[in-house]
Amino acid sequence: MIPFRRATPNIERLGRESKTHAMPNRKIHDTAGLICGGTAAYWRAQDQEPIHTAIETFGGALGGRFGSRLPDVIDPPTHPGHRSIGHGIVPIGSAVQISLWSLDELQNELRQLADRHAESARSSQSFFVELLHMIVSLVYRAGAGAAAGAVAGYVSHLALDATTPKGLPLVK
């Protein structure tokens, strides 16, 4: 029979390690993605009307949550060393830079579509058509925020993973 005292050190050791070298889990990544995504969307929508800024901030938070999960979709966390191209500094840094270059254009297009549908809603004679145009307008407006939020959420995931003992690979 193994004495109780002898069986517990591994559990105690794991507890200490998890406190000093905690790996960010999904909940932590989701929370960081929500905050970073909402903040990025808010920052990029400051020149919009206040209601539009609020809608884009909400969309950014949702986009940030989605973006914060993408690295683990690309590189599923099936083992502690799961980091590959989805967590690589060079490929992801390049992709983020390209995304940022095209983000203004994408957001402006989504905002224009939202404005067109809002105008169509105002000139509609039917309640149901008006409602449909308003819903579509909200989706486009939230999408403008989600685009910014997704990039910020992805980066937040990498920033958290960079603080772990495994760190991030340069390329693969």
What does the pLDDT profile of the chain (172 residues) look like in tens digits? 444 444 433 333 333 444 455 667 889 999 999 999 999 999 999 999 999 999 999 999 999 999 999 888 887 777 666 677 677 777 777 877 878 789 999 999 999 999 999 999 999 999 999 999 999 999 999 999 999 999 999 989 888 888 877 777 776 6
- Domain presence at residue 145: yes
How many structural domains is the chain composed of?
Answer: 1
* Residue 108 within a domain: yes
Q: Has residue 111 been placed in a domain?
A: yes
0.75 exceeded by pTM: yes
Strand, coil or helix: 143: helix
Residue 10 inside a domain? The answer is: no
Instruction: Specify if 119 maps to a domain.
Output: yes
Dihedrals phi, psi of 154, to nearest 5 degrees = -60, -45
Distances from the Cα of 60 to the Cα of 30, 121, 136, 162, angstroms:
13, 24, 17, 23
The domain of 32 spans: 28-162
